[in-house]
Amino acid sequence: MADRTDDKYDKIKRQENKFRFRFSLLAVFLLAFLGLHFYFHDDQDREYLHKVENNAAEAADTSLNHGGGAGGLKLLKRTLATETSRKDYTTEGKTPVADAKEGHKVMKIEEVSDAENTGSKEQEQDSDGDIDEETLVKEVERIDSEVRQIKAKLPPGNFMETDTEGVNASKRLQDATRKLLRKRYGPNEPYRVRVELEFQPTIPDFENDGGKDGMILIEMAPSTFQPHSIFTFMEVARKYKGGGFHRIAGHVLQVMVKNTGVKHLAFQEYSPEWPHEKGTVGYAGRPSGPAWYVSLINNVRNHGPGSQQKANPHEADSCFGKVIEGFDTDVQRIRKVPGQGFLNDRGMWVLINKMQIMVPESDGKYVDWAPSQ
């Protein structure tokens, strides 16, 4: 009887040792894999991988030193699950997150601080230097067309701001547009646009308030937030052929732009990091642009998310710049134009004779931009 018990005990021990041996080999293999993974990744990943490697070592220790095969296997499974479920979102300035309010995973776009993206931005700028501007233009046009098609085919009740395909395509358009902005206007930001005004004799204080000449200076938001909107405005300026302030309202002064082939926005690009505060510049209409306006008051409630209609609580006017010179002078003078609302008489408009793009040099000094020959 004792012999049978001993044989049964020996058999169990052999099976346990066999299990522990196989488990140990698996743990060693994982440690070796993570060691190579650790070696070839950048500093940002190493802290994370170090934690995963510690879990694997703890799993091996549990099995080898304490005979806890089940406990060690459970910990090793947790380690493998942690590693394989990891998502590496390294696209500049954005990170997809899950919306807890929805019953499923919704892709939204959050901003990432400049400090977190310094390294990736520098690497991307270096790679941009190898791509010619014409290639970047074609890439932006291709993705822009894709975004418009996705938006046009959305079923009723679906929104670009929450549709996975729409968000991903919009994000690709933003990424490609940032590259084109850097290529065409240089890596230094923010860009600016000088808007040269002409007041007409119909304004009551024409003789006493400085005559016909005026100017406002608009500084663009960081392209981290609104690259598509910024690029569209720069295209309006680059191709400008005429227009003027043709709407006088209590909350905005709106500009009509002569048609130069610049399209309205492919999607309603908006960032909560650049809201419709007093003095900011946004696009009018649905779809928005290229008509634009200056906010005379804080217009977050008037033009922010969900403000223009009830069906889509996410949609907002794009806000992409701010008046940094001329708001307290020439902007206030525009408000003195006789009449309210849309001005049918062009002789009442404050004309915009020129929109000049300005870019900062490495020393921070701004110069007028001109196309490279």
pLDDT the model gives residue 133: 95
Torsion sign, CA atoms 257, 258, 263, 264: positive
pLDDT the model gives residue 95: 33
Rounded mean pLDDT of the chain? 77
**Is a pLDDT exceeding 50 seen at residue 350?**
yes
Spatial separation of the C-alpha atoms in residues 285 and 222, rounded to whole Å: 23
Rounded to the nearest angstrom, the gap between the alpha carbon of residue 116 and the centroid of all alpha carbons in its chain is 14
* Per-residue model confidence as pLDDT tens digits over 99-128: 333 333 333 333 333 444 444 444 555 456
Which residues does residue 367 pair with via DSSP β-bridges, in sequence order?
A: 359
Q: How far is CA 329 from CA 36, 180, 201, 254, 326, in A?
A: 63, 34, 18, 17, 5
pLDDT band at 168; cut points 50, 70, 90: very high
Q: Of 234, 209, 238, which Cα lies nearest the Cα of 223?
A: 234
**Is a pLDDT exceeding 60 seen at residue 328?**
yes
Name which of 156-160, 234-238, 250-254, 344-348 the model is least confident about.
Answer: 156-160
Q: What percent of the chain has pLDDT above 70? A: 65
pLDDT the model gives residue 277: 94
Rounded to the nearest angstrom, the gap between the alpha carbon of residue 20 and the centroid of all alpha carbons in its chain is 50
Angle (nearest 5°) at CA 275 between 362 and 188: 10
**Is a pLDDT exceeding 90 seen at residue 92?**
no
Spatial separation of the C-alpha atoms in residues 254 and 257, rounded to whole Å: 10
* Per-residue model confidence as pLDDT tens digits over 223-232: 999 999 999 9
pLDDT band at 367; cut points 50, 70, 90: very high
Q: Concatenated DSSP letters for 63-130?
A: HHHH--HHHHHHHHHHHHHHHHT-----STTEEEE--TTSSS---EEEE--HHHHHHHHHHHHHHHTT
* Per-residue model confidence as pLDDT tens digits over 2-47: 444 445 545 555 666 665 666 566 655 655 555 544 444 444 444 4
pLDDT the model gives residue 85: 39
Q: Is the pLDDT higher at 95 or at 70?
A: 70
